[in-house]
Each structure stands twice: as structure tokens, then as C-alpha cells.
Structure 1
Amino acid sequence: MLNPIWSIKRFINPYLLVFLFAFDPCFAQITKVNELLPRLKQTMPDTARLSLLKQLSTAYSSVDPEKKFYYANVYKALAQKLNNHEAVADSYVQMGISYGIRSKIDSALFYFNLGYNHAKKYGFELTAGRALANIGFAYNRLDDNREAITNYFQALAIYKKIGYELGANQCYTNIGAIYYDMDKNEIARSYFNQALAGYTKSKNDMGIASALYSVGNCYLADHQDEQAIEYYNRSLAIRQKLGDLNGIGLARMGLGRAYTHQKKYAAALTSLDSALKNMRTLGDKYVEANVLNSIADVYNDSKDYAKAIEYGTQALNISRAIKAKGVGNESMDKLVTAYKNKGDLKNAFYYQTQYLLSKDSMQEEKMLKDITLIEMNRVRSENAGLEKDNQDIAAKNSDYLDKINKYSTVIIATSIVLASAILLLGVLYRRNQTKQATNKLLVKQKEEIAAINNELAMLNEEINAQMELSTAQNIELERLNDVKNKFFSIVSHDLRSPLSTLQTLLAVYREGDMDEKELGDLLVKLEDTILSTGTFLDNLLEWSKNQLEGMKINPVDIDIKSIIDENIHLFETKIGLKNLQVSNAAKADTMAFADQDMINLVIRNLLSNSIKFCKASDSIVFNAEVNGNRTIISISDTGPGISRDEADKLFSLEHTLSTGTQGEKGNHLGLILCKDMITQNKGNIWFKTEPGKGTTFWFDLPNRKNNTKA
């Protein structure tokens, strides 16, 4: 079973979201935006407009993050014009928050670092601390706990230095939350206690209540239930005094879980019912789903499995509606326990399968997040190198400008000397000679200046070229990352799904308690799972060989009708199970000149896809005919057809096949491999589809050895 403590980690600290800790609810911010926008059109001093732009950017945080970025950018431009470096640093932090709200963490980190470096350069410590705290939160979102804690400690040091107690208490809480997620409950509790002491000193009741709740969670995680109940009750008393419905609900949920540990089921249900009422009043679906899971726990422990199923199902429906996979997994785990103890193996098996698939999906998302973090660190390192190169070029430009200034001084001094000589000598002849010498010197200096200007122009061109190269490389990296992430997603999903199903089927078989009919159904599912997995592995092997070694073909004369018959025989069980009408209209001795193994794999993939997406009583028809020096093979089905959007990208990694009529998953690599193999055998592949009526695929091949022209 899942650890019941896991689900409370979401509520460890309401101040953890440093992106939003100063924001009012969305409806209040909309009112604020509507109040500020008309003032923006009024005539006012730039300093007043700067303050207005800051307020507008802040107000858009919970209304429209993209408009927040726009006004933060306008705010930055005006701050630069006014030479207000504190506002410039703050604008970068606001831009980072805009990206953070939209979960674009790499862009958020870029702007937070800009804000920190600018604030540090000009000595604005409070803004530097805010930037570091936001950097810590961004790394926490990327599950990089080491970097997150490092930045929180740096922010904490600044807040302590300048005496900003609220910021310091938030840092203590954020650090404690990270250690709590790492199951270092004693360390986490020490930081929560420091936050509690700070909030108590500043008489911040909301902060005190939050810290008490967090300490209670640590005790609950360590199964010190009496201490947990004490801290939950202290938090509850403050929340009730403040009229904080959300905080009251969280405290009562904690009490309900502690009473469940102590098997005080009546007290647990009383607390949890109160928490559920509060969350439904507030409309907080996430917490409501967690409370419902806690109630299901109580009923499972007290062996009232019908009630456990009722509340677990409610929690699962809500978690799916709000796309909260972690809470949904907990709900499915409780339903598996309830159905299993109730003796309903069919439903227990169903929810166990769904749980395993969801868990695999979350592991896949974490893997992609880890890959993204590695790539982001690499790109950031490369960008740092480019920035250093740009600084070196800028330093060279500065040296050349100094030289120009020197030459200008020389010109002025020379002119003064010449004028003095003319006045002293008073001789026209001497004056003309001096003038000629001066003109020669000026021409030479002009040439030198022109040469310097040319060199500066070349350096500027080099800088522009490097910037264009950097932009192109970033675009290419993003494209390659998308292809790589798509490929990882295909492999992990298509390989894990059948293996998870196989694992679940074997688990049900091992537990026994099934009659002969159920065993027969289980064996049919096992056969189908093994066949699907084998087809996928064949495709993956051929595709990998193609990528690493290139395709090697061995064309021979092959009998198309025989190959089609072999593949229809291979899928006889699946065809019978779905009650499909499959026929081979190809004439005997219809020959082609191609690699037999490749064409066999092409026909197998096309037949497999038709079977997956046809429903009962649909028909699938193969045909083959000779047209001149080409042999044309076709497969037609009366299935659902292919949508226009999917048809446009059918032969690329962007294509994702939908689920089959009995829950089968489409083979992502199959059609790509078909196209590659047909092309390598001097052929073409094309298709025609009509949604709701069916699809026909054709491909042609040479029918003689000397025919190599497609």
C-alpha cells in the first residue's frame, strides 16, 4: 500500500510557493488590474509611472502570466531609462515569476539569475534575497534538492543580515519542507520549529498556525501520534480564531489521520467530515480528494469495505478531473485493498492495473524531467562560455575606443602647435610648409582611424554571427530534445504497458481463486500481450539496426500470397477473439523482387494495426496484382479511419496512434519502419482513409530483378 503520510506533503507549508506568497486571490487581482489600467493612460511623471507598472505586473500574476511578462518588460525599460537599478533587478524577478507560473522553469531560472546578478552588482540585498529564494523554489520544482537548499540558505543569510524576519521564516519553512520530502523528519522539524519561533516573535498568527501544522505533520510521519494531535489542536485553535476555513480543514484532516493511527475511528470520522465540509465550501478539489482518501482509510481499517469503496471512488473521480495523478494513485490503492478484502477480484485486478499504469506514467515524467534538468545545466554552461567570449570582445572594443580618444587628443595638440608656429613666424612660406605637413599627418591619422573603424565593424559582425549561431544552436537543441523526449516516451510507454499488464495477469493467476473459464480468458490475454510485445520488439530491433548500421537488404523473388497467408495465420487468435472477417484476395504466384524478411515485417505491421482498430464483424481484405513491371499490394479495412490531423503526420515520430477497440496501444515505430523498408526495396507506400468508413494502404515493389526504378 501507499504510505499514507505521502499525501500530506502537499500541505506541509502554505508559504512554500514563493512565486505567489504576496498575491491576493484571483478575483481580487482582476479588480486591481481593472483599477490600474485606466491610470496607465493618464499623464504622470516617469517615477510615478514606474511604480504603477510594478503594481500592474504584480496584479497580473494570478490573472494572466503572459501579460505579467509584458508589463514587467515595460517596467524594466522605464527603469533602465531612469537609471533605477533596483527596479531593473526587480523587473527581472517579475519576468522569472511569470515563467514560473507557466511551469517554464528553465526560462524562470534565466531571469531569476539576471535579477540576482543585477541586484548583487548594485548592492540591493532584499531583491537579491528574493531572487535567490525564487531560484531555490525553481530547483525544488525540478527535484534538484541540493541546488534548492543551497539557494535557500544564501537567501536566508541575506534576510538575517538585513533583518527581514518574514523572508527568513519563509526560508526556514521551505528548507524544512524539502527535508520532509526526503523523509528527514527530525531535521525538517528543527527548521519548522525555527520558523515557529520567528513567527511567534513577530506575533504573526497565520505563520504560527502554519508552522504548528508542519511540526504536527513531522510527528505524524514518525508515528508520534499524541504529539501530532497536540500540535494540530494548537494550530486549529488559531485557525478558528482567524476564521481561516482552509487552515481549519487542514488541521482537522491531520487530526483525523492521527486518530486513524490510534484506531479511534469515530473521532477520526468526526474530524474528517468537518474537514470535508470546509473544503467543499472553499471549492478546493485537491484537498477534498485527500480528505476523501483519508475517510476511505478509516473504513478500510474498520473493515467497512463498501464505505471505503464509496469514498475511494469519489476521491478518484475528483483527482482525475483535476489531473492530480499522485492523489489518484492513492485512491486506486485504497480501492484495490477494499475490493480485494471484499472478495471482488475482478475490480481489484482492474484498479491494480490502472494503478501500475499511472505509476509508470509518473516515473516516465520524472525521467523526462531529470533529462531536461541535465540538458538545461549543459546549455546554461555553454551560454556562460558564450557570455565570457562576448565580454572579451566588449573589452577589446573598449581598448579600441581608448585608442581613438588618444588619437583625437594628438590631433588637437598638433593643431595648437601649428597655430602657434604660424603666429610666431608670420612667414607665409613657412605657414604653407607647416600646413602641408599638417595635412599629411591628418591624412595618415584618418587612414589609421578608418582602419580601426573597419576592424571594429569586423568585430561587430563577428559578435552578430556568434549570436545568430547561438540562437540557431538553441533552436536545434530544442528540436532535438523534443524528438529525443518523444522517442523515450514511445519506448517507455509501449514497452512498459504490456509488461505491466503481463505482471498484473500473472499476479491474479498466482493468487488463484479462478475457475476454468477465467483461466482460459487469462491465457488468451497472455497470448495477445506476448504477441503485441514481440511485434513491438521486432520493430524496435529493426529500427535500431537501421539507425546504427543502416538497412542491409537481400532481395530475392518472393511469393506475396504466401507471406500474407502466414501473417493471417499468426494473428488467428486475435482475429477470432474480435470476430473479424480477414481474407486474402491475392492471386497465387504473384511475385515481387524484395527482401523477404522486410516485406514480411511490413505486412505484419499493417495487419496488426488494422486488427487493433477494427471492431467486431469488421472486414480486412488483402489484394495483390501485377501492373507492368511493378507488383502492387493493398490492405483494406472497414475500421474507424484516420483523422485529417493524424494522417498528415502518420509516418513521423510526432504521430501517436489512438487506443484500439479493446484497449490495445498502437505501435508508434511500425509505420515509420514500414516506410523505411519499402523505400529501401525500391518501392513506395501510400494510403487513403475516410473517417467512419475505413482505411486502405498500398505499396508497390519491383517484380523483376532488373527493375530498380520506383
Structure 2
Amino acid sequence: MKTYHLPPLIVFIFIFLLFPKGSFGNILNDKINVADSLLFLYQDAESDREKLNFLSELVKVIHYSDSAQKYYPEAIRLAHKIKDHDLEAQNLNRLGVYYRNMNLQEEALKLYEEALEISKKNNNPVQIGHSLNNIGQIYFYRDLFEESLEYYKAAESQFLKVGNKEGLAYNYTGMSPVLGALGKNKEALDIINKAIEIRQEQGNERQLLVSKFNRSVLLMSMGEFNSVEDDIKNLYQYGLTYDIIRAIHALEKLVELNIATRNVNQAIKYAEEAKILHQQRPNSESMIEIYEMMYQLYFDRGNTTESKKYLALLDQEKEILSAERIKNYLAGLTIKKQKDEIAALSRENELMQANQKFKMYITFALMLLAFSLFIAFSIYYRSYKKEIHNIRVLKEKQNQIECQAAELNRLNIEKDKIFSILAHDLKAPLDSLWGMVKLMNEENLSQEEFESYLPILSQNLGNNSMLLENLLIWSRSQMRGMNTEFSKFNLFKVVEQSLSFLSGSGYYKGQVLENYIPKSIEIEAEKTMLEIVIRNLLTNALKFTNENDKITVTLEEEENFYTISISDQGIGMTEAGLSKLFGNDFYSTSGTHKEKGTGLGLLISKELVKKNKGEIWAKSQIGSGSTFCFTLPKS
């Protein structure tokens, strides 16, 4: 049975006639049902034009969801294929907005510039204006306000040229905060009022709420708080139904407004509401602002318990935001690499298709010429062999790309670990130092209290020094950038220097440090690497011992190698903990004075001993101390 397909316009007219205006609006609000219907129509469509129209409507409906990203490239490809440059530029701009929302600004900017170039070639003022608007927004995010304003002004002229009010409303809404950032508050207020006027005429409720909210933010920055609360609350109520992230952002401004107007109880209430919504749909940037305001509010009121609670929430949210930005940055690198690889494969596929067509034409022509059958067969056979070769080469390249992708994934995991360590362990001492300076500035810290904090700061900063050194060695090792230069040196002196250095560090707690390496022993190894290994192992011993515990460094000479041992009388380890050492993961426990570690030192020590052609291991029992041993070959 033949299936008949209605053109897209007739389908939408049919839906409009079938449902009354109010009912149809409710259906459109139910985005899941609309998206499912559009997806069905797209999959059932026969022509590229129908597919493009339905797909463009689909991505418009699901624009803010993660699933939209996979449909945009197909919509762009179809638009390019049938030369619908308006939809091609439109979908490029929308895909750019998707990447911008993921904080992949560089990728978004490339798409906006590509859309701008297509629109200029085809003289489409509306899409030119939207592309210029989007580029201006990227420059605004980068704090390049003068450049941003130039793009918004250029976009405004395009929309004015054709009288496109919807474009002007977007343009004025985006231009207003740029003018505000440049200190042109009156002009910014005039511009946002124009946007509000246009959107009131058009009856666009969601965008009208956004424009009024932006005006409220501008007025608050100007110190005018009397007439802004209703517009902020309206966006909050809208967000509760349709967009939780906007609701949290509105609550951020309500907290700020009520603190500014000294309505403290209401500010606290809004902050608690934001915490509840944050559990449904995380929004770290707005929550960071809310937590900072609440921390400062309770701190100023002398409520130490609540201020500490919000400071902890603030630190936690900053870590989440930092990790998310790092993840998005690495995702951007992956997306760029994948796009380059897909483009290369696409070009190669086009060449193969062209070759296939050429082969078909030759074969058809030779079939018409009976006397050339032998020649035709020979050519066909050679072409066939060439195709097999191309397929084999393509398969090899595909395998190579898959291996590269796996390697990239491994490197990304390593980077995630390193950035996580940086975000967490480097921040603590700096926060402590910042807090102490703040207390001193406010004259809340006495001289005795300041001196009591100095050993803690010294230990934390010492930890960071060792952590940074280990991270540098680890990153060079992972990127295969470490060169090994062997030389002869006195082992006793190297150990003695490390003991002297660490006895003045934050790890030293009054332990007894003894060097039993014979003073005459000369070894051949990479000196810098060996110093790092000895320092890491001694630091580890200091970390897990108490005052008066003995830490000894000894050497045993075998026929072909030396065994260096660092023993302590510390707290020791369980069999389970011992089995996790020197693995592929970071493993660490707290020391006797609650010292924190990353587990990176032992992994680096394993790498460096291996580069010096040796082996490393550990022996331990709970309550009986630990011994870390490694070997070095004799020269």
C-alpha cells in the first residue's frame, strides 16, 4: 500500500484547526509530546525538504536539552544539501547557542562566524543580525565590552533595515547589559525599555519576562530597589513551571534585593528556597552568589555557626563549578578533535563515492562496446583491487582513530585527576591565609592567635610545595617529556641533604632521623629523580610517625644492585592498604597530625625508580611501622 505524506505547512494547519488556540498552546507547552510528534514526522518524511523542516522545528522545541546536539549536524547538512541557506545559518546559530550554554565559547564563536559568512553571501539581514548578536554576546562574556557593543550596533542596523522587531528585541535585551558594563546606565535603561515595548506588542510572555528581569538587574546595579521586586518575582514564578535554572537565578536577585533593603528574614527564606530548587536542577553560578551573600550576612551579624555552614556550601559549590568547567573544556577539545576526524573521513568518503561513480560510468560504457569486454574487465578488476585496498586503508585509519580516542580518554582521565587535586588541595592553605589576613584587617585576630596559626600555615604551604613539585614531575612523565641523564654521585650526601631539608619542613614533628648509608658509596643514576624519590619516601615516613619515633635510611649491597630502605616506627598499614600502593590510582590516608595527601608521591616514585632501572615495594604491619625499599643497579 502506498503511503501519502502531507507537506509540513499542511500538517501544522491541520493541527491548528484540530485544536483550539488555548488547547494548542497547552500542547506546545508540553514539549515532550511535541518533540515526539515532530520526531515521528521527521522519521516518516520522504523528501529532504520535509525532513529539514520537521528537524528544524524539533531542535527549536528541544533546544535547551542535551539531546538537541545530535540533531543539529543533520539539520545543517540537509540545509546545505538543498541550498536553504536561511535554515543553514539559523541552525548553525542555534548549535552555537548550545555550545555557549556548555561554556564552550570557542566552538560557539566558530559556528556564529560560519553562520555570519553564509548569511552575508546570501544577503539575509535577519540571520546576519542574529549572528552579530551572538558574536557580541561572546565578547561580552569575555569582558570585551567595547568590541561587544560594536557587534550589537551592527546587528541593530541589520534588523532596522528590514524592520524585524523580534530581532530588535533580542538585540536590545543583549545590548543593555553591555552598556551597563560600560557605565552608560541611562542609555542601557532606554534600550531595555525599547525591548520591553516590542515584546509587549508581540505578546511574547517568556521573552518579556526575561527583558523585565534584565531591567530589574540593571536598576539594582544603579541602586534603585523600589520598583524591581515584582518583575523578579514574575520570572521566578515562570521559572518554577518552565525553567528551574531561571527560577534559581531570580532567587539570587531576590536575596540580593532583600539584603540591600535590610529585609533579612525574607532574604533567608529565598536562600532556603534556592537550596531546595538547586537539588532538582543544579545551578552552581547562582548558588555561589547566594552562598557568598548568606555567608557575609551571617558573618556580619556575628552568627559563626551559620556563616561557617554557608562558607562550607560555598567552597563545595566552587569545587563543583571548577570541575564542571574543566570537564566542559576537555569536552570541547574532544568535540574539536572528533569534528576534525569526521571531516577528514567525510572528504575521503566523498572521494571514494566519486571514484565509485566514475567506475560505474566506465563499466556502463564498456558494456555497450562488445569488442572492449576484455579491456573493460581488466579495468574493472584493477578498480576493484584498488577499492579493496582503499577499504583496508580506511579500516586501518579507523582503527588508528579509535586507538587515538582511547588514548585521549586516558589522558583526559589523568587530567581530571590532576585538576581535581589542584582544585581541592591547593585551595585549602590559600583559603586559610586569606581568612587570616581578613581577620587581621578586621582586627579580630590577636598576636598570640596569629602566631599559633603560623605552624599550620607553614605545614599547608609546605604540603603545596611538595604537591606542585610532584604534579610537575607527574605531568612531564605522562606527556613523555622526561629525559634521563645518568651521573655518578655520593648517595650519603644526597640522603643527608634530604634529611636536613625535611627537618625544617612542616612534616617534621620531632622524629629521630638517622642516615646509615656508608659515606663512601658512589652510585650511577639520575640524580634529580633519585632526590625526588628519597624526599617523597622520607615525607611519607614523617607523615605517619610521631615525636621521638625513629626514621632510618639504610643500604644493602648485592652482587648486581643496591637496595635502599627507609624504615619508620610509625602507625603502619593494613594488608588492604598495602596492596593499594604503587597501583594505577591515587591512594592516600591522613597522617598522625591529620596531614592530607594525594597519593601522587608514591606513583611518581614508582615511575622514577623504573626509569632508573630499579624496582620499589613496601612492607608494613599495623602498629609496627613501615619500610619502603627500592633497588638501583650497580654501574
TM-score under structure 2 length normalisation: 0.66
The residue aligned with 2:113 is 150
Does residue 551 of structure 1 match 2:478? no
Does residue 132 of structure 1 match 2:81? no
The CA deviation at 1:306 is 8.1
The residue aligned with 1:461 is 388
| Cα distance in 2 for residues equivalent to 1:199 and 1:616 | 79
Q: Deviations over 1:106-146 (max 9, x none)?
A: x74xx645543443333456654554344443554531354
Paired letter, 2:367: S
| Cα distance in 1 for residues equivalent to 2:276 and 2:487 | 55
The CA deviation at 1:527 is 1.0
Paired letter, 2:185: H
Alignment of 1:273-672 (within 5 A): 276=236, 278=237, 281-282=240-241, 284-302=243-261, 315=274, 319=278, 322-335=281-294, 338=297, 373=332, 377=336, 380-381=339-340, 383-411=342-370, 447-489=374-416, 494=421, 500-501=427-428, 503-511=430-438, 512=440, 513=443, 514-543=445-474, 547-553=480-486, 566=499, 570=503, 573-574=506-507, 598=529, 601-602=532-533, 604-605=535-536, 608=539, 637=571, 647=580, 651-652=583-584, 655-656=585-586, 666-667=597-598, 669-672=600-603
The CA deviation at 1:477 is 3.3
| Cα distance in 1 for residues equivalent to 2:538 and 2:94 | 54
Does residue 676 of structure 1 match 2:607? yes
The SS at the match of 2:105 is coil
| Cα distance in 2 for residues equivalent to 1:301 and 1:113 | 47
Larger mean Cα displacement after TM superposition, 377-386 or 461-470? 377-386
- Contact preservation (8 Å) 1:575, 1:611: yes
- Contact preservation (8 Å) 2:567, 2:626: yes
Question: Residue 80 of structure 2 is aligned with which of 112, 116, 120?
Answer: 120
The SS at the match of 2:49 is helix
| 1:450–1:600 CA distance, 2 compared to 1 (3 A) | same
- Contact preservation (8 Å) 2:217, 2:253: yes
| Cα distance in 2 for residues equivalent to 1:95 and 1:571 | 66
The CA deviation at 1:455 is 1.1
Paired letter, 1:298: L
| Cα distance in 2 for residues equivalent to 1:280 and 1:374 | 33
Question: Residue 223 of structure 1 is aligned with which of 185, 205, 220?
Answer: 185
The residue aligned with 1:430 is none
| Cα distance in 2 for residues equivalent to 1:697 and 1:95 | 63
Paired letter, 2:217: R
| 1:304–1:548 CA distance, 2 compared to 1 (3 A) | same
- Contact preservation (8 Å) 2:135, 2:151: no
Larger mean Cα displacement after TM superposition, 394-403 or 659-668? 659-668
Paired letter, 2:601: G
| 1:261–1:639 CA distance, 2 compared to 1 (3 A) | farther
5+ unaligned residues in a row in structure 1: which ranges? 1-43, 415-444
The CA deviation at 1:515 is 0.9
| Cα distance in 2 for residues equivalent to 1:384 and 1:321 | 39
Alignment of 1:74-89 (within 5 A): 84-87=47-50
| 1:695–1:375 CA distance, 2 compared to 1 (3 A) | farther
Paired letter, 2:363: I
| Cα distance in 2 for residues equivalent to 1:119 and 1:340 | 57
Q: Name the count of aligned residue pairs.
A: 590
| Cα distance in 2 for residues equivalent to 1:571 and 1:615 | 16
The CA deviation at 1:509 is 5.0
The SS at the match of 2:598 is coil
- Contact preservation (8 Å) 1:275, 1:291: yes
| Cα distance in 2 for residues equivalent to 1:119 and 1:275 | 35
- Contact preservation (8 Å) 2:156, 2:168: no
The SS at the match of 1:329 is helix
| Cα distance in 2 for residues equivalent to 1:657 and 1:236 | 57
| 1:383–1:212 CA distance, 2 compared to 1 (3 A) | closer
- Contact preservation (8 Å) 1:339, 1:348: yes
Alignment of 1:246-265 (within 5 A): 250=210, 253-254=213-214, 256-261=216-221, 263-265=223-225
| Cα distance in 1 for residues equivalent to 2:567 and 2:59 | 55
Q: Deviations over 1:669-700 (max 9, x none)?
A: 4233121233345543457999xx99998754
5+ unaligned residues in a row in structure 2: which ranges? 13-26
TM-score under structure 1 length normalisation: 0.61
Aligned-CA RMSD value:
6.2
Larger mean Cα displacement after TM superposition, 534-543 or 342-351? 342-351
Paired letter, 1:468: K
Q: Computing the radius of gyration over CA atoms, which structure comes out larger, 1 or 2?
A: 1
The CA deviation at 1:307 is 7.0
Q: Deviations over 1:173-228 (max 9, x none)?
A: 75675566464357547857987999997xx9xx9998886676667654237647
Q: Deviations over 1:387-426 (max 9, x none)?
A: 4444444444444443333332221xx6xxxxxxxxxxxx
| Cα distance in 2 for residues equivalent to 1:571 and 1:46 | 85
| 1:555–1:98 CA distance, 2 compared to 1 (3 A) | farther
Identity of aligned residues (%): 14
The CA deviation at 1:599 is 5.5
| 1:656–1:555 CA distance, 2 compared to 1 (3 A) | same
The SS at the match of 1:548 is coil
| 1:86–1:688 CA distance, 2 compared to 1 (3 A) | farther
